[in-house]
Chains A and B, each alone.
Chain A
Amino acid sequence: MIQLQDVEKMYRGKVHALRGVSLEVMDGEIFGLLGPNGAGKSTLVKIIMTVIHATRVSGTLLEKPIGNRKILEDIGYLPEHHRFPYYLTGKQVLHHYAALANVSRKDRITRASSFLSRLGLNGWENKKVGSYSKGMLQRLGIAQALMNDPKLLVLDEPTDGVDPVGRREIRDLLAELRDEGRAVFLNSHLLSELEMVCDRVAIMVKGKVTMQGTIESLTQDSRRYEIETEESVPTWAKEVVDDVSEHLMVIRSDDPAIIQPILDRLRRDQITILSVKPVRENLEDLFMRAVDHTDTPGAVQ
């Protein structure tokens, strides 16, 4: 779907927003790009959507070189902080942008009503967008991005300003869209969100992708078991486990066979085991680790 190699963007005024970004989005997956504010996520998305010109770019988008306008017919885009003309109604918004994307009138009519109801905007289609709430505008924006029946959906902060119920609905919708065979490229700074829905993620810090892969594989190394005991941890434990504290033993492994002998030995020593937990680093830990490596967030000036 998307293959990018070595994308560079230097804004006028010498902001080096992207410093050699490479990433790949496969067919039919939800790909999340995460990073702190100012990391360059929106910049990357805008380059894909031809909204800004990259200083250097190579790669393909739907098998065509980046910058080809024709393929935009097959891509849906929701920009960050989008603003619809205040004088349009929800339905008119959908028709207007779909017409610009060369969607036939017949398709526009059927899709508009189907997406409006799918995004829970029934009853609002004939109201001016000026009266919409932030969450509704966001949904309308997603509906707008879907009007051309895209193979690839590019969403910049799709859940920005949406309440928890709405977020959940959007997440479910994204999963449905993936199941329909569309690829979704979304970017967000809300980690829990991505964790729940993304098949693969890339972490971007200061204009560089520092990690990329499935959440599973990225957190592989950090898997461990934690054993909590009521009494103090016995002294022999120091030799067999990786980390000990007063009531806690940590074994860095995701293989349950390794902890069985340790549990046997604790039982033999009459130590009360309060809990045995398989622990996996979550996206937040991973993210903090990535950001820490490169100290303060923000682009290089």
Chain B
Amino acid sequence: MQFKALLIDAYRQLSAAKLFWVTVGISVLVVVCYGSVGFNEQGISVLFGVWEIESEQLHSGSPWARGLYIGIFSSFLVKIWLAWIATILALISTCSIFPEFVHSGSIELTISKPIGRLKLFFSKYLVSLLFVVLQVAIFCLGIFICVGLRVGEWNPFIFTAIPIVATFFSYLFAVCVLVGILTRSGITALLITGVFWMALWSIQTSEGTLNRFVTEQHVSIERFNEGIDNAEKDLAEITEKSVDDFRIPKFEKRIETFNADIEESQELLGKLEQWHTPISWVLAISPKNAQTIGLLDRWLSDPDGFDIGAIMSGDMSSIEGEEVEEFDRTTRGARERETTRRLRDDYESRSLWYVIGTSLIFECVILGIASFYFCRKDF
């Protein structure tokens, strides 16, 4: 009954602040736009057929059409709408829940009721999250119906966006709650959460960039070593036949260059590791929101289909469906392709425990501090 009372109260508070309904309205609009895209025998139709584009690959029934349609959801709607715009709107509408809650004059009324403070705190937290979940759920239901009607696939994995986005949001909301009850100011909570989010974003971006460079150096060293081996083998073969073949100096020169390159890479690697190692540790203990959202790609992608995320990152191999045959594995292009593949494998191989578990630990620590403060405070 107490939980229900808090639930009703949160609902009334959110719906009194019109933003909640505005967000629901925009969500519905986004779903309607999404649903307005359809496929027919000739190609794609946008805005319920107002605009038709003919296409050979993208027509009803083609696997590419499915890939594109689900890809728009997992790459654009989730990554841009849910992970950014809707999250910002949700933070704005929920940031003042806790400051209002602990406002002097109203907290006394609540806290003097027969309900433990810890229970009160976590109920309030869950209730606030629940409304964000509700928003995402409405959105996903709309998407689910659109996908079902448009490409004939009733894909329940679309609903995995609900826990993922909720988890993602909860990392930020925990910080918002902590600041909110410490400062009793919604605006401060919102601003500091924003700063925190930017910090996370910087950490994740720099880790990603540094990781790319580090992997690149590893690949280079490996490939150059491979090149040296091959060159030495060839050299041995040639030398066996004739000691003064005109190609011998060329191979020797080649080995020399490889050695110099390896040295250079190793030096660079040393410098990069210096930065990458601490940053990857910081990342390990901080919430990984980009990777949390990225989980959705893993779960929604269709191995035979069309991967819009990969197209955006410039990797065509998954579309062409087969590995590019490399003639010379030491060229810059070959090394870059290998780096991209390894990076993707690296991030995809990070376990659920690493992505969500460590993020949740961070969240628990923040909530632990907030609830401890809440329980001890003299209001």
Residues of A within 8 A of B (CB): 11-12, 46, 49-53, 69-73, 75, 77, 79, 81-88, 92, 95-97, 99-102, 144
In the complex, whether B315 has a CB less than 8 A from a CB of chain A is: no
Q: Which B residues are CB-close (under 8 A) to A53?
A: 376, 378
Q: Report the minimal beta-carbon distance from B96 to chain A, rounded to whole angstroms.
A: 11
Task: Assess the A99–B1 pair: CB atoms within 8 A.
Answer: yes
Q: Which A residues are CB-close (under 8 A) to B109?
A: 77, 79, 82, 84, 97, 144
Task: Assess the A11–B378 pair: CB atoms within 8 A.
Answer: yes
Q: Report the minimal beta-carbon distance from A93 to chain B, rounded to whole angstroms.
A: 9
> Taking CB as reference atom, which chain A residue is nearest B12?
A87
Residues of B within 8 A of A (CB): 1-2, 4-6, 8-9, 12-13, 16, 100, 103-116, 376, 378-379
Q: Which A residues are CB-close (under 8 A) to B111?
A: 49-51
Q: Report the minimal beta-carbon distance from A110 to chain B, rounded to whole angstroms.
A: 17
Measured in the bound complex, the distance between the Cα atoms of B134 and A63 in whole Å is 45
Task: Assess the A83–B105 pair: CB atoms within 8 A.
Answer: yes
Given A85-B9, A100-B110, 10 more A-B residue pairs with CB atoms under 8 Å apart are: A46-B379, A49-B111, A51-B379, A82-B105, A82-B108, A85-B13, A95-B5, A99-B2, A99-B4, A101-B114
**Given the contacts A50-B111, A51-B112, A97-B113, A81 and B5 also touching, CB distance less than 8 Å:** no
10 smallest CB-CB distances across A and B, nearest first, come from A83-B105, A87-B16, A99-B5, A52-B378, A79-B108, A49-B112, A100-B113, A72-B114, A73-B114, A77-B112
Chain A interface SS verdict (over half) = loop
Measured in the bound complex, the distance between the Cα atoms of B107 and A46 in whole Å is 12
> Taking CB as reference atom, which chain A residue is nearest B375?
A53
Task: Assess the A83–B114 pair: CB atoms within 8 A.
Answer: no
Task: Assess the A69–B378 pair: CB atoms within 8 A.
Answer: no
Q: Report the minimal beta-carbon distance from B276 to chain A, rounded to whole angstroms.
A: 44
Task: Out of B5, B13, B105, name the residue touching A100 (CB < 8 Å).
Answer: B5
Q: Which A residues are CB-close (under 8 A) to B4?
A: 99
Task: Assess the B2–A100 pair: CB atoms within 8 A.
Answer: yes
Task: Assess the A81–B379 pair: CB atoms within 8 A.
Answer: no
Measured in the bound complex, the distance between the Cα atoms of B118 and A69 in whole Å is 12
> Taking CB as reference atom, which chain B residue is nearest A101?
B113
Q: Report the minimal beta-carbon distance from A280 to chain B, rounded to whole angstroms.
A: 37
Measured in the bound complex, the distance between the Cα atoms of B2 and A87 in whole Å is 19
Q: Which B residues are CB-close (under 8 A) to A50?
A: 111-112
Residue of B5, B106, B112, B114 with most chain A CB atoms under a 10 A cut-off? B112
Measured in the bound complex, the distance between the Cα atoms of B105 and A12 in whole Å is 20
> Taking CB as reference atom, which chain B residue is nearest A156?
B108
**Given the contacts A51-B112, A72-B113, A99-B4, A82 and B106 also touching, CB distance less than 8 Å:** yes
**Given the contacts A79-B109, A81-B104, A83-B103, A102 and B2 also touching, CB distance less than 8 Å:** yes
Measured in the bound complex, the distance between the Cα atoms of B379 and A50 in whole Å is 10
Q: Report the minimal beta-carbon distance from B10 to chain A, rounded to whole angstroms.
A: 11
Measured in the bound complex, the distance between the Cα atoms of B108 and A220 in whole Å is 39
> Taking CB as reference atom, which chain B residue is nearest A103?
B1
Measured in the bound complex, the distance between the Cα atoms of B38 and A210 in whole Å is 83
Q: Which A residues are CB-close (under 8 A) to B2?
A: 99-100, 102
Q: Which B residues are CB-close (under 8 A) to A85?
A: 9, 12-13, 100, 106
Task: Assess the A102–B1 pair: CB atoms within 8 A.
Answer: yes
Measured in the bound complex, the distance between the Cα atoms of B13 and A70 in whole Å is 28
**Given the contacts A51-B379, A52-B378, A102-B1, A88 and B12 also touching, CB distance less than 8 Å:** yes
Q: Which B residues are CB-close (under 8 A) to A79?
A: 105, 108-109, 112
Task: Out of A12, A83, A101, A102, name the residue touching B106 (CB < 8 Å).
Answer: A83
**Given the contacts A46-B108, A81-B104, A99-B2, A69 and B12 also touching, CB distance less than 8 Å:** no
Q: Which B residues are CB-close (under 8 A) to A73?
A: 114
Task: Out of B6, B12, B103, B108, name the residue touching A49 (CB < 8 Å).
Answer: B108
Q: Report the minimal beta-carbon distance from B288 to chain A, rounded to whole angstroms.
A: 36
Q: Report the minimal beta-carbon distance from A128 to chain B, rounded to whole angstroms.
A: 9
Measured in the bound complex, the distance between the Cα atoms of B120 and A72 in whole Å is 15
Residue of A52, A71, A87 with most chain B CB atoms under a 10 A cut-off? A87
> Taking CB as reference atom, which chain A residue is nearest B113?
A100
Q: Which A residues are CB-close (under 8 A) to B9?
A: 85, 88, 96
Residue of A50, A53, A73, A79 with most chain B CB atoms under a 10 A cut-off? A79
> Taking CB as reference atom, which chain A residue is nearest B119?
A69
Measured in the bound complex, the distance between the Cα atoms of B116 and A82 in whole Å is 20
Measured in the bound complex, the distance between the Cα atoms of B8 and A83 in whole Å is 18
**Given the contacts A77-B112, A87-B12, A96 and B376 also touching, CB distance less than 8 Å:** no
> Taking CB as reference atom, which chain B residue is nearest A9?
B378
Q: Which A residues are CB-close (under 8 A) to B107?
A: 51
Measured in the bound complex, the distance between the Cα atoms of B12 and A11 in whole Å is 35
Task: Assess the A51–B108 pair: CB atoms within 8 A.
Answer: yes
Q: Which A residues are CB-close (under 8 A) to B16?
A: 86-87
Q: Which B residues are CB-close (under 8 A) to A88?
A: 9, 12
Measured in the bound complex, the distance between the Cα atoms of B103 and A183 in whole Å is 29
Measured in the bound complex, the distance between the Cα atoms of B13 and A86 in whole Å is 9
Task: Assess the B106–A96 pair: CB atoms within 8 A.
Answer: no
**Given the contacts A50-B112, A72-B114, A100-B2, A84 and B378 also touching, CB distance less than 8 Å:** no
Q: Report the minimal beta-carbon distance from B14 to chain A, rounded to whole angstroms.
A: 9
Q: Which B residues are CB-close (under 8 A) to A46?
A: 108, 378-379
Measured in the bound complex, the distance between the Cα atoms of B100 and A83 in whole Å is 10
Q: Which A residues are CB-close (under 8 A) to B1?
A: 99, 102
Q: Which B residues are CB-close (under 8 A) to A12?
A: 378
Residue of B2, B113, B376 with most chain A CB atoms under a 10 A cut-off? B113
